[in-house]
Structure 1
């Protein structure tokens, strides 16, 4: 299965996620949903935030040229938000999955949907 298929079929098609991407720790974007303008530098900073917890809390993250407040950094998961939307970043063995929810979606459904894909990747050693 291609990386784009994971994004489109396992995340966007569920209607629980507005936009999503899969990327590596060096910022290389493997796949992203249509219209999601995440930069390689933003993906790299998001991956680095797992090891720079205090910086993430103090400065937030910029994704798609928009600044987000980081509210939780745990091993394997970062949660961020603005007033209108939020995101979840899951760390798998080799990659990171970021997904967003909007104001007409529930954060819990977005988190569950993204977490399932992350669990699948982990079970496959990805």
Structure 2
């Protein structure tokens, strides 16, 4: 399965994620849905935020040119919201999965979808 098919089928295909991306821990976009781009600077700040939540809480979470308010951030999952949209980022051994949602989608459903794929990829060594 290609990285793009994980975005298209596992994230967006769930109906709980509007847009998605898989980016490398060292930078670079592995796959993304059309119209959803995460810059190298946004990737770097997001990756750093997994180990240092205070920076995300102070400066926000940035993706696709939008600044989100950090709701919570841990070593493996970051959740953020902006108005009626939000995102969930989940870290694997080599990548970060990003799921974007907008109402009427729910953050809990988006988070469950992204984290399910996270568990699968970690189990596969990614």
TM-score bracket relative to the smaller structure: over 0.9
Match of 2:88 in 1: 88
Distance in 1 (CA, whole Å) between partners of 2:51 and 2:111 is 21
> Gaps spanning 5+ residues in structure 2: where?
none
Distance in 1 (CA, whole Å) between partners of 2:71 and 2:79 is 6
TM-score by length of 2: 0.95
Distance in 2 (CA, whole Å) between partners of 1:104 and 1:27 is 31
Contact 1:27 / 1:42 at 8 angstroms: preserved in 2? no
Match of 1:47 in 2: 47
Match of 1:113 in 2: 113
Distance in 1 (CA, whole Å) between partners of 2:10 and 2:111 is 13
Distance in 1 (CA, whole Å) between partners of 2:39 and 2:124 is 27
Deviations 1:85-125 (A, max 9, x none): 11111011111101011011111111111111001001111
> Gaps spanning 5+ residues in structure 1: where?
none
Distance in 2 (CA, whole Å) between partners of 1:27 and 1:61 is 16
Q: Name segments (4+ residues, structure 1) moved above 2 Å.
A: none
Alignment of 1:32-43 (within 5 A): 32-43=32-43
Distance in 2 (CA, whole Å) between partners of 1:74 and 1:35 is 27
Partner SS state of residue 105, structure 1? coil
Distance in 1 (CA, whole Å) between partners of 2:19 and 2:53 is 24
Aligned length: 126
Partner SS state of residue 71, structure 2? strand
Distance in 1 (CA, whole Å) between partners of 2:115 and 2:62 is 22
Aligned CA RMSD, in angstroms, stands at: 1.0
Match of 2:97 in 1: 97
